[in-house]
């Protein structure tokens, strides 16, 4: 096994503070954010008033549980009702740096802070450092992920190649020519790049990788690190930015020191015990978008309380365990049963359906199975595939089936992947 580049701690005062200091500082951030949201975000103010909460009474983390929860799955409806950001924005749209659209649709803002989404700590933990040339293979088109990672890398002093999605050969050629030492994007695309480079005899200088938007099974991590590339992962959302990240000790993902992350029991809504599955609910302190207790829909579990050899003191989340509802992430994008159903309503011939997700050779495969009444459907599969790709943003194979082929009550999104 090749020697891998070590990670670093970006800010010891922040990442290695005592539990009491952590609680006090997060509580102070919560108080400031609630006061700001009350003044600037009309929906937040209405929600607090309905809950009979005076923002002046929110002074510490002990007051967090009193605040109402907003569900991410509700954002499309809230934004349609009160465009463009559902009354949750802490400034005017024209005062933002960029505005994005994620599948849903959900509109996401970017403020003017250099590292608005707080990824610099995660990248330092993965071994990125000043002077690295970094290939960023996350999307820069409408969705914010490319800019999220780009900003974090540049905040560390890295130079970024804005590769975006696809064009494997071109990205490989560019990374080799420019001497890229770092990679950001999905792990499956990184593995493709490394494999193609070896097959074509193209020398790559990659030493570190920070991967997101897909599961990273240990089998895939081992295949990547066999090339001599340190590969660590993190978790965040387009709305909330970076929430957790791995250190080189692995064994879970440290909670980001600049936000509040709760793991709430799926039935009671109370804090889940370590090891118990719960929904991840986050609060961030961004003036431009002061989100309070946004329920992500992702399920995780707290790792057992234990100090980490890396020196960081933040609690760890023991990875992601799934999703609340029918959303499944495929090739870095969410596929939702409701979205598929809305598209298929445009086609009178379409009956019962399901999306089937499989994985082979570290690559996801998506197939849409759709029941149709019978023959005479020439061109229908192609038309459905085109419409679904435009809406869901993930290309999939469409299989037309006879009526009754899909069991009644079948999952709208059937994830058959096995992670090893």
pLDDT 10s digits, 313-327: 999 998 887 777 666
Same domain for 281 and 265? yes
User: Quick check: 328 pLDDT over 70?
Assistant: yes
Residue at a domain's end among 278, 305, 325 = 325
Which range in 105-109, 301-305, 349-353, 375-379 is most confidently predicted, on average pLDDT? 105-109
Beta strand 353-360 with 363-372: parallel, antiparallel or unpaired? antiparallel
Number of domains in the chain: 2
Question: Each residue of 344-389: pLDDT tens digit?
Answer: 888 888 888 898 889 887 888 899 998 888 765 678 888 899 998 8
pLDDT band at 237 (very low <50, low <70, confident <90, very high): very high
- Which stretches within 266-379 are classed as H helix? 337-344
Dihedral angle over CA of 183, 189, 195, 196, nearest 10: -100
Residue 285 lies in a domain: yes
Say which CATH number the domain at 164 has: 3.40.50.12780
Say which CATH number the domain at 378 has: 3.30.300.30
Which pLDDT belongs to residue 254?
96
- Range with the poorest average pLDDT among 1-5, 95-99, 153-157: 1-5
Q: Could you give the C-alpha distances from 24 to 7, 18, 59, 119, 193, in angstroms and in order? A: 28, 10, 10, 23, 45
Measured between alpha carbons, how far is 232 from 214 in angstroms, rounded to an integer? Answer: 12
Same domain for 342 and 210? no
Same domain for 290 and 185? yes
Taking each helix axis from N to C terminus, what angle separates 218-225 and 187-200, rounded to the nearest 10 degrees? 40
Same domain for 22 and 148? yes
Residue 21 lies in a domain: yes
Same domain for 303 and 402? no
Residue 387 is inside which H or E element, if any? helix 380-392
Which pLDDT belongs to residue 326?
64
Same domain for 377 and 293? no
Same domain for 343 and 217? no
Which pLDDT belongs to residue 168?
93
- pTM of structure: 0.82
Question: Each residue of 21-32: pLDDT tens digit?
Answer: 999 999 999 999
Averaged pLDDT of the chain = 92
Residue 143 lies in a domain: yes
Same domain for 70 and 165? yes
Same domain for 381 and 263? no
Same domain for 296 and 385? no
Task: Specify the 3-state DSSP secondary structure of 126.
Answer: helix
- Which stretches within 82-237 are classed as H helix? 120-126, 145-155, 168-177, 187-200, 218-225
Residue 213 lies in a domain: yes
Residue at a domain's end among 276, 291, 325 = 325
What average pLDDT does range 298-327 have in this prediction? 85
Question: Each residue of 390-402: pLDDT tens digit?
Answer: 888 888 889 888 8
Which pLDDT belongs to residue 217?
84
Residue 5 lies in a domain: no
Residue 248 lies in a domain: yes
Host domain of residue 345: 329-415
Question: Per DSSP, what are the bridge partners of residue 254?
Answer: 245, 316
Give 37's Cβ-side CA count (13 Å radius). Answer: 30
Measured between alpha carbons, how far is 243 from 228 in angstroms, rounded to an integer? Answer: 27
What average pLDDT does range 234-240 have in this prediction? 95
Residue 393 lies in a domain: yes
The token pair that represents 376 in the structure block: 């005479």
What average pLDDT does range 180-206 have in this prediction? 96
pLDDT band at 228 (very low <50, low <70, confident <90, very high): very high
User: Quick check: 306 pLDDT over 80?
Assistant: no
Q: What does residue 35 show for φ and ψ, rounded to 5 degrees?
A: -60, -40
Which pLDDT belongs to residue 375?
67
Residue at a domain's end among 325, 360, 384 = 325
Same domain for 209 and 184? yes
Closest-CA residue to 249 (of 320, 307, 208, 210):
307
Closest-CA residue to 371 (of 399, 413, 342, 343):
399
Which pLDDT belongs to residue 160?
98
Measured between alpha carbons, how far is 413 from 327 in angstroms, rounded to an integer? Answer: 7
Same domain for 205 and 69? yes
Residue 1 lies in a domain: no
Of the chain, the end-to-end C-alpha distance in Å amounts to 20
Closest-CA residue to 298 (of 65, 72, 69, 64):
72
């Amino acid at each position: 096994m090749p020697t891998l580049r070590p990670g670093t701690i970006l800010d010891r005062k922040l990442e290695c503070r005592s539990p009491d200091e952590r609680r006090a500082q997060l509580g102070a951030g919560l108080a400031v954010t609630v006061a700001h949201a009350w003044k600037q975000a009309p929906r937040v103010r209405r929600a607090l008033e309905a809950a009979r909460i005076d923002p002046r009474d929110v002074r510490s983390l002990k007051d967090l549980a009193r605040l109402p929860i907003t569900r991410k799955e509700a954002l499309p409806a809230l934004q349609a009702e009160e465009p463009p950001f559902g009354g949750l924005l802490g400034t005017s749209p024209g005062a933002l740096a960029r505005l994005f659209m994620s599948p849903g649709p959900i509109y996401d803002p970017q403020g003017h802070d250099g590292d608005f989404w707080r990824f610099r700590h995660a990248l330092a933990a993965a071994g990125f450092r000043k002077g690295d040339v970094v290939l960023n293979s996350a999307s820069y088109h409408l969705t914010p992920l490319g800019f999220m990672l780009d900003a974090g890398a540049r905040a560390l002093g890295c130079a970024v190649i804005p590769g975006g999605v696809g064009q494997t050969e071109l990205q490989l050629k560019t990374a080799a020519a420019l001497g890229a030492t770092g990679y950001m994007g999905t792990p499956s695309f990184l593995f493709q790049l490394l494999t193609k480079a070896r097959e074509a005899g193209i020398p790559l200088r990659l030493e570190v990788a920070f991967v997101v938007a897909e599961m990273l099974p240990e089998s895939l991590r081992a295949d990547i690190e066999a090339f001599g590339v340190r590969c660590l992962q993190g978790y965040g959302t387009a709305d909330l930015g970076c929430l957790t990240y791995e250190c080189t000790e692995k064994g879970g993902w440290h909670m980001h020191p600049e936000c509040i992350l709760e793991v709430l029991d799926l039935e009671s809504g109370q804090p889940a015990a370590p090891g118990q599955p719960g929904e991840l609910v986050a609060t961030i302190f961004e003036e431009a978008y002061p989100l309070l207790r946004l329920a992500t829909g992702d399920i995780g579990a707290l790792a057992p309380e234990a100090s980490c050899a890396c020196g960081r003191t933040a609690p760890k989340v023991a990875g992601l365990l799934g999703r609340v509802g029918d959303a499944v992430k495929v090739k870095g994008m969410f596929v939702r049963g409701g979205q598929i159903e809305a598209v298929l309503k445009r086609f009178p011939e379409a009956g019962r359906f399901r999306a089937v997700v499989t994985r082979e050779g570290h690559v996801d495969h998506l197939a849409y199975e759709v029941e149709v009444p019978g023959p005479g459907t020439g061109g229908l599969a192609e038309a459905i595939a085109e419409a679904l790709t435009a809406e869901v943003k993930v290309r999939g194979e469409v299989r037309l089936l006879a009526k009754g082929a899909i069991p009644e009550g079948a999952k709208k999104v059937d994830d058959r992947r096995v992670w090893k």
